[in-house]
Amino acid sequence: MYSHMADALFQKDVRVRRVTTLNHAAAQGLSDPARMRILELVSHKPMNAEEIAKALGNAGVKKATTTVRHHLDALKEAGLIEAARMVEVRGAVMKYYSATLRVFDCQAPADLDSKALRLIDDVSGKLAKVLKSVHEDKRFLALDKDGKCREFLALEIINAALARAMERPEYKELTAAGQKK
């Protein structure tokens, strides 16, 4: 058994590049690739099981409506979607679902960190100040009574604030203007 770092054949410092906060239920809810697609679909507009099955089929992912309903139940149980609207159709209730978690079905360029280094550094400095203010807030201290989840809770607060910021009219106007270009 090698006990000295000098004996290592390979060693490098690995930095965290991205942060995602998930609890066990959310991770289970996302365990199927079809659920990620469903979540992405219902993050844009409320949809029912039949509409989701059709949209998945159009994207090349064939799923029966009963299978889609199973996935919707798993996502709902994980807290990742909620019924946004219920409509009576021929004596039955049709549920339309919306996402409570925003997912993006796109891939960042592999060189994003190097191309956006200055912007990342600038934003990370501002976020460090925000994280410090969250940690120092008395309301925050009351949330983590045993001190085990400080980082997770701080990131969840920032995450929820980011999601709320993305719902603000000024951000929606900004993204709508970007899509028109």
Q: What is the mean pLDDT of residues 56-83?
A: 95
Q: Look at 9-23, 37-51, 100-114, 153-167 and tell me which has the smallest mean pLDDT.
A: 9-23
The CATH topology of domain 24-99 is Arc Repressor Mutant, subunit A (1.10.10)
pLDDT at position 18: 75
What share of the chain in percent tops pLDDT 70? 94
| b/e per residue 41-50 (b: at least 16 CB within 10 A) | bbbeebbbbe
Which ranges in 116-168 belong to alpha helices (H)?
117-136, 138-143, 150-167
- pTM over 0.85? The answer is no
8 Å CB contact between 17 and 113: yes
Instruction: Return phi, psi of residue 85, to 5°.
Output: -160, 145
What secondary structure does DSSP assign to 6-22, as a single string? GG-S-------------
8 Å CB contact between 42 and 52: yes
Domain range list for the chain: 24-99, 111-171
8 Å CB contact between 113 and 94: no
Instruction: Return phi, psi of residue 157, to 5°.
Output: -65, -45
- Residue 158 CA to residue 151 CA, distance in Å, equals 11
> How many residues appear in the chain?
181
Mean pLDDT of the chain: 89
pLDDT at position 40: 92
Q: What is the mean pLDDT of residues 127-147?
A: 90
Instruction: Evaluate if residue 130 carries a pLDDT over 90.
Output: yes
pLDDT at position 6: 64
pLDDT at position 181: 58
Instruction: Evaluate if residue 147 carries a pLDDT over 90.
Output: no
pLDDT at position 178: 66
Segment of 23-32, 48-57, 108-117 carrying the highest mean pLDDT: 48-57
